[in-house]
């Protein structure tokens, strides 16, 4: 329609009308593009909000991982205390319990990720988060070095050395009855039984307990191992705390 | 005079028509852009679905890799049992069987690639488009998993190094030539023969050398505990592959 009018106006040399038609097209395209951009930005913000809702399960997973891992290491610490007591000559600790405790104290569990889940969320999305109280902790969570939370961080000399002293057959028996188990409902996480009430071969445990006592350096290595675990749990606490702040803010925004 | 003519001409224009035309152009441009965006979004969603379907061969390959790692390490575990019996001087284990088992127990296998394939095939931007959390969650875990935990370096233990310092080189070469790693899965994986019925002429000397190093028994126990950790890691990855496979089954 405009083109037909413009042609007619050009033929009749109605320059005012030509100028107005030209302005209509320029102004129309400009306003139309502006409206599209505004709409696009609105869609992107809505998409970011949707993505934020979608990361909630991952945030919950971090918090649950932290709680489960604290529980896991509380269990290994309990076994470590039994092992220390045996190394200190406590007669209440049987050879059977000593061997089991020395092994279980060396069990480790970590995150198993090479890059943060947040890398998948994307830094470009982060820029679309308007709320400072969400964006800042989310950025800290995204920048967290998750490799520091991998099981490598707690793989110690104690773990290697104690497994050289305890024979493979006993290690297998302990692992079979009391080793890592997938957490019910979450195959990505592991749990360790709080107690290990199995009876190993008495002759073997007597011999191995004597071997463990003969390697008194293992008690020092276990102290170092536990210090490493504490340090690991501190890092994990920081990570989980950031996750908790993000989750609380997301919940507040959802209400 | 020009101003007067301009004013006159402006007064002659049909401003209602002009306003309508302006609105038509604005709406036209807006709708045009929106249709273009919608079309691009649809194409991107279709591409994401196609990529998910194309992931299946990679999933099968990864599943086979996990199975081959498990099978391989189960075989080394059986050799380890024979080696332990050899160190215990079990009369059922000959010197040759002992030496072969001690060597084969030190064989290791794991992922040689860094496992970034998932992330390469499926970028983070594609992942964000997946609305179904049943697909997104396992895929995200596979994309962010630390595959170095499944690397064969993880089994490069003290036992592996020490036992190879003690068994003479000619015997090691003989075992490798007859019963070493062989390619499976069209060259995509490695296997190890479950038995190694070869004759080793001077096995008694090598067996005596091994028994003179009882510390290897402890080192082998520690090596086996590393293998047990590998089994746990393999199980974790497999569970995510299976979960993803079930979730994308309806897309095929």
Nearest by CB to residue B140, choosing from A28, A120, A172, is A120
Residue among A183, A55, A250 nearest B133 (CA): A55
Of B219, B245, B192, whose CA–CA distance to B70 is shortest?
A: B192
Q: Does B73 touch chain A (CB under 8 A)?
A: no
B172-211 residues touching A, CB cutoff 8 A: none
A117 and B80: CB-CB below 8 Å? no
Over range A59-79, report the average pLDDT. 95
Quick one: pLDDT at residue A223?
97
Distance from CA of A96 to the nearest CA of B (A): 18
Name the least confident of B9-23, B89-103, B189-203: B9-23
Residues 1-20 of B with CB under 8 A from A: 6, 9-10, 13, 18
Q: How confident is the model at residue A230 (pLDDT cuts 50, 70, 90)?
A: very high
Give the tens place of pLDDT for each residue, B42-54. Answer: 998 888 888 888 8
The token pair at B79 is: 């050799």
| Cα–Cα distance measured from residue A150 to residue B131, given in angstroms and rounded to the nearest whole number | 29
Report the pLDDT value the prediction gives residue B115, as an integer from 0 to 100: 54
- The arithmetic mean of pLDDT across residues A66-84, rounded, is 97
Kindly determine whether residue A39 and residue B29, on different chains, have CB atoms separated by under 8 Å: no
Alpha helices for A12-165 (secondary structure H): 15-54, 56-87, 95-104, 118-121, 123-127, 132-143, 157-165
Percent of chain B with pLDDT over 90: 54
Q: Which long-range contacts (CB under 8 A, 24 or more apart) does B239-243 make?
A: B239/A182, B239/A187, B239/A188, B240/A187, B240/A188, B240/B138, B240/B141, B240/B142, B240/B145, B241/B59, B241/B62, B241/B63, B241/B66, B241/B138, B241/B142, B242/B63, B243/A187, B243/B134, B243/B137, B243/B138
Residues forming a β-bridge with B151: B111
Q: What average pLDDT does range A145-162 have in this prediction?
A: 92
Nearest to A168 among B125, B221, B233 (CB): B221
Tens of pLDDT along B59-95? Answer: 888 889 899 999 999 999 999 999 999 999 999 999 9
What sign does the CA torsion over A205, A210, A211, A212 have? positive
Q: How far is residue A141's CA from residue A136's CA, in Å, rounded to a whole number?
A: 9
pLDDT for res A78: 97
| pLDDT reported for residue B119 | 67
Of residues B13, B27, B225, nearest to A20 (C-beta): B13
The rounded distance, in Å, linking the Cα atoms of A144 and A64 is 17
Residue B64: exposure state from Cβ atoms within 10 A (0-12, 13-18, ≥19): middle
Average pLDDT over residues B121-147: 82
Instruction: Grade residue B117 by pLDDT with cuts at 50, 70 and 90.
Output: low
Is the pLDDT assigned to residue A35 strictly greater than 60? yes
Q: Provide the mean pLDDT of chain B.
A: 89
Please say whether the beta carbons of A16 and B4 come within 8 A. no
Taking the Cβ of residue B146 and every Cβ of chain A, the question of whether any pair is shorter than 8 Å is answered with yes
The reply to whether residue B124 touches residue A58, judged by beta carbons under 8 angstroms, is no
**Distance from C-alpha of A23 to C-alpha of A2, rounded to nearest angstrom:** 11
C-alpha distances out from residue A239 to A64, A68, A131, A139, A191, Å: 12, 14, 20, 12, 20
Nearest CA in chain B to A148: B146
Q: Identify any residues that bridge with B190 across adjacent strands, giving them in sequence order.
A: B183
Better-predicted residue by pLDDT, B187 or B17: B17
Q: For a pLDDT cut of 70, what percent of chain A falls above it? A: 96
Minimal C-alpha gap between A139 and chain B (Å): 17
Between CA B98 and CA B85 the distance in angstroms is: 8
- Cβ <8 Å between A151 and B149: yes
ipTM: 0.77
Is the pLDDT at A162 greater than 90? The verdict is yes
Q: What number of other Cβ atoms are within 10 A of residue B172's Cβ?
A: 17
Could you report how far apart the first and last alpha carbons of chain A are, in Å? Answer: 50
Shortest distance between the Cα of B222 and any Cα of chain A, in A, equals 5
Residue B84: list chain A partners with CB under 8 A. 167-169
Measure Cα distances from A60 to A66, A240, B248 in Å: 10, 9, 24
Please answer whether residues A229 and A91 qualify as being in contact, where contact means their C-beta atoms are separated by less than 8 angstroms.
Answer: no
- CA of B197 vs chain A CAs: smallest distance (Å): 25
C-beta atoms of B140 and A117 within 8 A: yes
Any chain A CB within 8 A of the CB of B153? no
**Is pLDDT at B29 greater than 70 in this prediction?**
yes
CA dihedral angle for residue A190, residue A193, residue A199, residue A200, rounded to 10 degrees = 30
Contact assignment for A160 to B158 by CB distance below 8 Å: yes
Q: Which residue has the tokens 């310092």?
A: B165
Mean of pLDDT over chain A: 90
* pLDDT digits 0-9 by tens, A167-176: 999 999 999 9
Which B residues, 51 through 70, put their C-beta within 8 Å of a C-beta on chain A? none
Would you state the pLDDT for residue A40? 86
Set of chain A residues whose Cβ sits within 8 Å of the Cβ of B21: 1-2, 21, 24, 28
Distance CA B15, CA B76 (A): 89
pLDDT at B210 over 80: yes
Residue of B nearest to A109 (CA): B229
* Chain A nearest-CA residue for B129: A51
Contact between B239 and B141 under an 8 Å Cβ cutoff? The reply is: no
pLDDT tens per residue across span A178-209: 999 988 878 788 999 999 999 999 999 999 99
Burial string for A73-107 (b: 16+ CB within 10 Å, else e) reads: bebbeebbebbbbbbeeeeebbbbbbbbbbbbbbb
């Amino acid at each position: 329609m405009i083109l037909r009018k413009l042609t007619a106006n050009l033929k009749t040399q109605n320059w005012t009308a030509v100028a107005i038609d030209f302005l209509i097209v320029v102004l129309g395209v400009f306003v139309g593009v502006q409206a599209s951009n505004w709409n696009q930005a609105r869609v992107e913000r809505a998409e970011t909000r949707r993505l934020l809702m979608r990361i909630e399960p991952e945030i919950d997973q971090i918090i649950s991982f932290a709680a489960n891992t604290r529980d896991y290491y509380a269990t290994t610490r309990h076994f470590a205390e039994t092992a220390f007591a045996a190394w200190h000559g406590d007669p209440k600790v049987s050879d059977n319990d000593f061997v089991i405790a020395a092994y279980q104290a060396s069990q480790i569990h970590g995150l198993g990720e090479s890059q943060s889940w947040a890398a998948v969320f994307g830094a470009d999305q982060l820029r679309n988060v308007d709320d400072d109280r969400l964006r800042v902790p989310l950025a800290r969570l995204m920048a967290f070095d998750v490799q520091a939370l991998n099981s490598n961080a707690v793989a110690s000399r104690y773990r290697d050395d104690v497994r050289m002293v305890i024979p493979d057959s006993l290690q297998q028996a302990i692992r079979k009855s009391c080793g890592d188990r997938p957490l019910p409902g979450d195959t990505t996480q592991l749990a360790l039984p709080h107690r290990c009430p199995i009876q190993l071969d008495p002759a073997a445990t007597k011999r191995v307990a004597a071997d463990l006592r003969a390697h008194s350096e293992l008690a020092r290595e276990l102290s170092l191992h536990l210090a490493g675990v504490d340090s690991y749990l501190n890092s994990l606490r920081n990570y989980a705390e950031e996750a908790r702040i993000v989750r609380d803010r997301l919940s507040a925004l959802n209400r | 005079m020009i101003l007067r003519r301009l004013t006159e001409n402006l007064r002659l224009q049909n401003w209602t028509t002009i306003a309508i035309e302006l609105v038509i152009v604005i709406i036209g441009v807006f709708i045009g852009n929106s249709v273009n965006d919608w079309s691009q979004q649809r194409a991107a969603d279709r591409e994401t679905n196609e990529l998910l379907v194309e992931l299946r061969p990679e999933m099968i390959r990864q599943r086979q890799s996990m199975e081959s790692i498990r099978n391989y390490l189960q075989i080394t575990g059986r050799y380890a049992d024979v080696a332990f019996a050899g160190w215990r001087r079990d009369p059922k284990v000959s010197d040759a069987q002992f030496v072969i088992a001690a060597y084969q127990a030190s064989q290791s296998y794991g992922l040689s690639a860094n496992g970034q394939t998932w992330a390469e095939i499926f970028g983070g931007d594609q992942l964000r488009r997946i609305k179904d959390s049943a697909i997104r969650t396992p895929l995200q875990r596979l994309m962010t998993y630390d595959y170095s935990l499944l690397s064969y370096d993880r089994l490069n233990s003290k036992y592996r190094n020490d036992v190879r310092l003690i068994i003479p080189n000619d015997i090691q070469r003989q075992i490798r030539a007859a019963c070493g790693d062989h390619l499976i899965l069209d060259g995509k994986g490695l296997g190890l023969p479950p038995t190694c019925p070869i004759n080793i002429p001077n096995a008694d000397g090598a067996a005596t050398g091994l028994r003179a190093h009882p510390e290897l028994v402890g080192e082998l126990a520690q090596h086996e505990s590393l293998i047990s950790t590998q089994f746990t890691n393999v199980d974790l990855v497999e569970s995510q592959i299976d979960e993803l496979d079930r979730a994308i089954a309806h897309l095929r």
